[in-house]
């Protein structure tokens, strides 16, 4: 009996040693976050955890051990490769590992070389989140088309079926698909219990926070999604038994020698309601444009999320838009808000004309029986920047009118003197120059034209080249894009005014020669 006991103890010890040898972990006690990565079989699969009070809690399944159910799929041309052995019809990536997981300072890094494409996956601890970053490099002599899918098996504490909160769409307990314009949110939240959450996680892909917006996002039932290598079609299944999220990224075609990257973060988060003691309140205000940038005469659509905990409650939700002490919009909706669920209210406001740049503060105020239940404010939530809009509306210049009056006066006199004055006026109006500049700030590219003459630039237009099939997000309104070029018909630019073409491009490459054209002139840079 003793021999059997010793034998079993040795097996347990060997298993423990083996498990420890097959994982690489990185913990930041100050920031309350930990990542654990598999290094033996299913290399690159992982689990994530966070500290809540004095205890470390699960944010993805199987923490603090790595888990094959949280994995990555790489689509290279028409072939899908997976870091997990679970998915069907997928080539596992273990045979392609070029650098095994290891800790380098504040991160865990590992690499593969697959079909001539180098892939580096990094787990980096930042504040209370783990940033998972992928860098793709084409080491081949031909182009490759690249896609990425992140499959995360969410688990909050002991709740393996964590509901998912989507700003402007509420609390999701069934499978849901978002793609294209429906991905107007920059984050999602998951939590262990809707009535009074004690463990909350937040996933972020907002470009404003240096993350990458996915082309498609799926809330799924894990037992079904885990078997898929790439495409997963939601079937409307309930996720409260076992939830997962899938983020799809279209990296595009990468040329030889070119690199591209994707970043996503996941970790601890604040409750949906900002005040832990509040039982009803405004969870979020979401605009139909994630950047918050608009042009004159555009309609702004607001969505306000309200959560009532424990019981249903009647309340009125006011949406107020103000700037420099003046209220421009004030509307309310009264609703019986359901218990333990998020209700989304929609408001619409027409901006109207603007003669100058302006920013607006948005407030959502929740009122019941004349008492204020909650106030949620977004300072500078809306920004109107005329230089980033086509045909900006500005005040008319006065010097041109004076010049015309002088010319008309002298035309009534001596023709020779009038001709001389016209000539001087022409020189005066055309003094100064048109400045045309292009610069890069991180992954943001700015192409700016500034009219420093005293003459209006008529029918101004910018043409800016792009690498073929590059990943680009344009912030400026009314810009046309072809496969290898952006074209912005600005219109007229008054003296002393400017216009800026702004866009985000993968890796921030300022590519090729930009062209500016207007009636009577052109510039290259």
CATH number of the domain that 212 lies in? 2.70.98
Tell me whether residue 95 is in a domain.
yes
Q: Which residues contact 453 (CB under 8 A, 6 or more apart)?
A: 429, 430, 431, 432, 433, 434, 495
Q: Which residues contact 239 (CB under 8 A, 6 or more apart)?
A: 161, 163, 164, 172, 173, 174, 175, 219, 220, 221, 222
pLDDT per residue as tens digits for the range 43-58: 999 999 999 888 999 9
Rounded Cα–Cα distance for residues 404 and 447 (Å): 34
296 forms bridges with which residues in the sheet? none
pLDDT of 443 over the 70 cut: yes
Average pLDDT over residues 454-476: 82
Tell me whether residue 145 is in a domain.
yes
Average pLDDT over residues 359-373: 92
282 phi/psi in degrees, rounded to 5: -85, 125
Residue 432 — pLDDT band, cuts 50, 70, 90?
low
Q: Which residues contact 265 (CB under 8 A, 6 or more apart)?
A: 126, 129, 130, 131, 132, 203, 204, 205, 209, 211
pLDDT of 100 over the 80 cut: yes
Q: How does the average pLDDT of the chain come out, rounded?
A: 85
Judge if 297 and 243 occupy the same domain: no
What local confidence, expressed as pLDDT, does residue 153 receive? 97
Judge if 410 and 328 occupy the same domain: no
pLDDT of 144 over the 70 cut: yes
Which of 359, 384, 409 is the last residue in one of the domains?
384
Which of 235, 268, 301 is the last residue in one of the domains?
268
What local confidence, expressed as pLDDT, does residue 503 receive? 83
Tokens standing for 446? 């700015």
What local confidence, expressed as pLDDT, does residue 507 receive? 65
Which of 334, 349, 384 is the last residue in one of the domains?
384
Judge if 425 and 349 occupy the same domain: no
Residue 525 — pLDDT band, cuts 50, 70, 90?
confident
pTM surpassing 0.85? no
pLDDT per residue as tens digits for the range 381-430: 999 988 888 654 433 232 223 333 333 344 455 455 555 555 555 555 55
What percentage of the chain reaches a pLDDT higher than 90?
53
pLDDT of 438 over the 50 cut: yes
Rounded Cα–Cα distance for residues 327 and 337 (Å): 27
Judge if 39 and 187 occupy the same domain: yes
Tell me whether residue 13 is in a domain.
no
Judge if 397 and 379 occupy the same domain: no
Cβ(317)–Cβ(362) under 8 Å? Answer: no
Centroid of chain to Cα 201: 17
Tell me whether residue 9 is in a domain.
no
Angstrom CA distances, 167 to 63, 412, 450, stand at 27, 68, 39
Rounded Cα–Cα distance for residues 231 and 219 (Å): 13
What local confidence, expressed as pLDDT, does residue 274 receive? 67
Rounded Cα–Cα distance for residues 150 and 132 (Å): 10
Average pLDDT over residues 336-360: 91
Rounded Cα–Cα distance for residues 93 and 152 (Å): 18
Rounded Cα–Cα distance for residues 96 and 111 (Å): 9
Centroid of chain to Cα 220: 21
Judge if 372 and 401 occupy the same domain: no
pLDDT per residue as tens digits for the range 58-78: 999 999 999 999 999 999 999
Average pLDDT over residues 150-173: 91
pLDDT of 309 over the 90 cut: no
Q: Which residues contact 134 (CB under 8 A, 6 or more apart)?
A: 72, 119, 120, 121, 122, 148, 261, 262, 263
What local confidence, expressed as pLDDT, does residue 46 receive? 98
427 phi/psi in degrees, rounded to 5: -65, -40
What local confidence, expressed as pLDDT, does residue 195 receive? 63
Average pLDDT over residues 129-153: 97
What local confidence, expressed as pLDDT, does residue 40 receive? 96
Cβ(465)–Cβ(514) under 8 Å? Answer: yes
What local confidence, expressed as pLDDT, does residue 370 receive? 76
494 is in which domain, residue-wise? Answer: 390-524
Judge if 376 and 434 occupy the same domain: no
Residue 208 — pLDDT band, cuts 50, 70, 90?
confident
Average pLDDT over residues 282-297: 89
Supply the Cα-derived Rg of the chain in whole angstroms: 29
What local confidence, expressed as pLDDT, does residue 505 receive? 81
Judge if 238 and 104 occupy the same domain: yes
Judge if 512 and 411 occupy the same domain: yes
């Amino acid at each position: 009996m003793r021999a059997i006991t010793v034998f079993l103890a040795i097996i347990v010890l060997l298993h423990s040693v083996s498990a420890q040898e097959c994982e690489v972990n990185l913990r930041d006690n100050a920031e309350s976050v930990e990542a654990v990565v598999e290094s033996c079989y299913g290399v690159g699969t992982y689990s994530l955890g966070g500290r809540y009070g004095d205890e470390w809690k699960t944010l993805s399944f199987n923490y603090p051990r790595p888990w094959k159910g949280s994995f990555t799929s790489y689509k290279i041309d028409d072939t899908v490769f997976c870091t997990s052995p679970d998915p069907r019809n997928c080539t596992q990536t273990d045979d392609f590992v070029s650098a095994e997981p290891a800790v380098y300072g504040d991160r865990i890094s590992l690499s593969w070389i697959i079909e001539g494409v180098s892939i580096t996956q990094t787990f980096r601890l930042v504040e209370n989140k783990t940033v998972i970053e992928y860098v793709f490099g084409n080491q081949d002599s031909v182009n490759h088309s690249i896609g990425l899918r992140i499959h995360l098996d969410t688990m909050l504490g002991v709740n393996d079926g964590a509901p998912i909160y989507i700003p402007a769409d509420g609390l999701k307990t069934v499978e849901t698909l978002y793609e294209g314009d429906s991905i107007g949110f920059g984050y999602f939240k998951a939590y262990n219990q809707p009535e009074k959450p004690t463990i909350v996680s937040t996933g972020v892909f907002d470009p404003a926070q240096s993350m990458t917006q996915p082309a498609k996002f799926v809330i799924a039932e894990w037992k079904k999604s885990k078997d898929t290598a790439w495409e997963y079609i939601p079937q409307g299944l309930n996720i409260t038994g076992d939830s997962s999220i899938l983020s799809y990224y279209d990296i595009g075609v990468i040329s030889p020698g070119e690199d591209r990257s994707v970043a996503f973060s996941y970790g601890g988060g604040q409750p949906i309601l900002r005040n832990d003691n509040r039982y009803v309140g405004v969870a979020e205000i979401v605009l139909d444009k994630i950047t918050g940038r608009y042009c004159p005469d555009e309609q702004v659509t607001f969505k306000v999320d309200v959560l009532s905990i424990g019981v249903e409650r009647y309340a009125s939700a006011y949406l107020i838009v103000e700037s420099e002490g003046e209220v421009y919009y004030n509307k309310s909706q009264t609703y019986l808000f359901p218990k333990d669920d998020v209700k989304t209210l929609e408001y619409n406001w027409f901006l109207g004309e603007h003669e100058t740049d302006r920013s607006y503060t948005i407030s959502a105020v929740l009122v019941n029986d004349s008492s204020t239940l909650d106030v949620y404010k977004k300072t500078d939530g809306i920004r109107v920047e005329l230089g980033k809009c086509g045909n900006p509306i500005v005040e008319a210049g006065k010097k041109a009118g004076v010049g015309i009056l002088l010319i008309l006066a002298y035309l009534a006199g001596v023709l020779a003197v009038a001709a001389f004055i016209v000539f001087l006026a022409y020189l005066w109006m055309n003094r100064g120059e048109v400045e045309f500049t292009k610069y890069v700030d991180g992954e943001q590219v700015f192409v700016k034209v500034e009219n420093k003459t005293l003459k209006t630039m008529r029918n101004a237009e910018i043409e800016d080249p792009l690498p073929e099939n590059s990943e680009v997000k344009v912030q400026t309104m009314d810009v046309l894009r072809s496969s290898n070029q952006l074209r912005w018909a600005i219109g007229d630019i008054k003296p002393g005014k400017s216009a800026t073409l702004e866009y985000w491009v993968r890796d921030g490459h300022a590519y090729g020669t930009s062209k500016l054209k207007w009636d009577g002139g052109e510039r290259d840079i």
